[in-house]
Structure 1
């Protein structure tokens, strides 16, 4: 398989269009057409990871964090970023990063945290705005079923766990083919009236190009009338963080000790314990202070994240317990998630889990 073929599989899990605007995701180093001998999955791409890839004969590194985040004006090996890029290029190793594309996936980073902690029925904590669109088009009656089937196949009409969703309204369309046209119905120069159906379907924004191509390829008219609008509906499938429930409620201190053990955290920094039972839990891997308000609105008893600053702990305001278990600790199982996914999708292919500990923070 080529680099492109493998990254296409990864983008089924986490489309790059789902990444945040500030991020740098996708193929950062390498040729997309290069044949892949083996894949090494890591949280961070450091020199030790590139060395590990060389030792394991892996020429594609799939990394959660992007090694190149800001633009590089030179590559001389004077920084750890430059040294990684140089070594990867020298050894023909491609580097692909997923980062916030995987953060925003309903089967990504936060789903894995929920799995490890036994949090059930998880839902997106902060749905990504402007990601649901609606297609409106018009078709003659005899073409409606064929057109709708093609659009459903292209991914239109999916709402949560429902598929093939649409709304139709009957009406009469009119048009007058002008000079140089080749109308499917009607005659050039004469106004034509046709019984049509107005068809509405929603779709996820990353599918727009494919859905429009399908519309144009499947519609019988020479000129296709259509509209695309962006909706404010809550997206159940794309967004940051997750919130769910424990099978059995726990005391706050007992729950935090359980989190510490299951997440291999050296320390748990937390806001004031409130003496409440813990039933609903919100999680957000990585730096999650921006989601404190969302966790409170969701009614979470505890919010697990990292990189909380001194004054941000005050935002708990006796409404929940904020627990900071460390940046690496919240994301460490991401590489296990990716290895399991790739092995399932590409069986009998060399997929390796990096053994390098890339956590830059040490504890006494």
Structure 2
């Protein structure tokens, strides 16, 4: 059995919407076509010739990668050169390549949250906000006997989430009037007669991205043929989305012990460390990939240390001068996204009872060796 490739990508984009990506990022379909049926998906950090051969040998028709293989503009596709040969192999075997990069970094429950979880951080917040989701308010009028069902359906669909509270609503009582016309089948009342009904007005807020889901849930739970409801856009910003995370260790430790913790948690052979090794560490900022631009964000948020990759020499000097410790586990520490995204997609497969296999790449794509 197979599934349409676009269906798998829809699941991915529900989890990590393309709208979350940093402007100019090269995300989405990069090679091949999604207009086909597939049976296996390979999840990888990078697309290398070795990963392509892995996909061929395992029969994967779609590769989902974190790092876009076509990031800089191609001036040619020469099959006598390694990059062109790799692309030719993908096309020859009809393997599509889709990249989920900064949208996966920013997504709630995505790469930076997986990093924070690995480091066992508590009270986690976004380090560098890039988006604030728009909020809307739904007002719906419900007969008394269906009030609880409609409120429950709204909350279950994602409405009424304020901070760590869910199913938040406000209710007021009143009288609804209506006159059923010809061809109607009213839940309450008689055709041609004005009816007065005790109703409850339910108000709740929700992220704009969930509007379709919430309206569908409300209509399904509501008993009326024609439901009276209003939706308003709110001025106040919703939940922040962005790059990196910042939180607290359960127990304070010195920089040396913390660096050892990072090394073990992210399964890397070494970490570069900036700062006195006896520095006490409690508040931790973490950002997958290249985090050189986010030293000031970590300082502003009061972090004791920033965990990130690809730290430049002069960035390290500036951080040291500012009193911010750094732990650099390398860019390849982002490999944790393989298992993370594999789990997300497998949950979707189970939810939809789909016939598609999600495979985690076993190829080590780290170009560096420690001697």
Same-fold call, TM > 0.5? yes
2:105 corresponding residue in structure 1: 103
**In the aligned structure 2, how far is the partner of 1:351 from the partner of 1:225?**
41
1:232 aligns with 2:234: no
Structure 2 gap ranges (5+): 179-183, 189-195
2:167 corresponding residue in structure 1: 164
Q: CA deviation at 1:93?
A: 1.0
1:326 aligns with 2:330: yes
Q: Is the 8 A contact 2:116 2:124 kept in 1?
A: no
Q: SS of 1:124's equivalent?
A: strand
Post-superposition CA distance 1:49-79 (Å, at most 9, x none) = 1111111111121211122335657645477
- Written as runs of structure 1 = structure 2, the 5 A alignment for 1:144-159 is 148-159=151-162
Structure 1 gap ranges (5+): 176-181, 186-192
- Written as runs of structure 1 = structure 2, the 5 A alignment for 1:12-23 is 12-23=14-25
1:259 corresponding residue in structure 2: 262
Post-superposition CA distance 1:152-195 (Å, at most 9, x none) = 454322335533222345679999xxxxxx9x99xxxxxxx999
1:299 corresponding residue in structure 2: 302
* TM-score, with structure 1 as normaliser: 0.77
Q: SS of 1:27's equivalent?
A: strand
1:286 aligns with 2:289: yes
Q: Is the 8 A contact 2:309 2:330 kept in 1?
A: yes
**In the aligned structure 1, how far is the partner of 2:123 from the partner of 2:270?**
26
1:202 corresponding residue in structure 2: 205
Q: CA deviation at 1:133?
A: 1.0
**In the aligned structure 1, how far is the partner of 2:315 from the partner of 2:150?**
52
Q: SS of 2:289's equivalent?
A: strand
Please point out which of 123, 131, 134 is paired with 2:133: 131
**In the aligned structure 1, how far is the partner of 2:36 from the partner of 2:122?**
40
Stretch deviating more after TM superposition (69-78 or 300-309): 69-78
**In the aligned structure 2, how far is the partner of 1:221 from the partner of 1:350?**
43
Q: CA deviation at 1:18?
A: 3.0
Stretch deviating more after TM superposition (337-346 or 91-100): 337-346
1:49 corresponding residue in structure 2: 51
Q: Cα distance 1:222–1:333, how it changes in 2: closer, same or farther (>3 A)?
A: closer
Q: Cα distance 1:269–1:120, how it changes in 2: closer, same or farther (>3 A)?
A: closer
**In the aligned structure 1, how far is the partner of 2:117 from the partner of 2:229?**
46
- Written as runs of structure 1 = structure 2, the 5 A alignment for 1:6-85 is 6-69=8-71, 75-77=77-79, 82-85=84-87
Q: Cα distance 1:209–1:222, how it changes in 2: closer, same or farther (>3 A)?
A: closer
Post-superposition CA distance 1:208-254 (Å, at most 9, x none) = 3444566788686588643223532444xx43222233343222223
Please point out which of 266, 272, 282 is paired with 1:268: 272
Q: CA deviation at 1:80?
A: 5.4
Q: Is the 8 A contact 1:130 1:231 kept in 2?
A: no
Post-superposition CA distance 1:23-62 (Å, at most 9, x none) = 2333333443523232222101122211111111111212
* TM-score, with structure 2 as normaliser: 0.76
Q: When the two structures are aligned, how many residues end up with a matched partner?
A: 357
Q: SS of 1:360's equivalent?
A: coil
Q: SS of 1:333's equivalent?
A: helix
Q: Is the 8 A contact 1:129 1:232 kept in 2?
A: no
Q: CA deviation at 1:358?
A: 1.9
Q: Cα distance 1:291–1:354, how it changes in 2: closer, same or farther (>3 A)?
A: same
Q: Cα distance 1:209–1:76, how it changes in 2: closer, same or farther (>3 A)?
A: farther
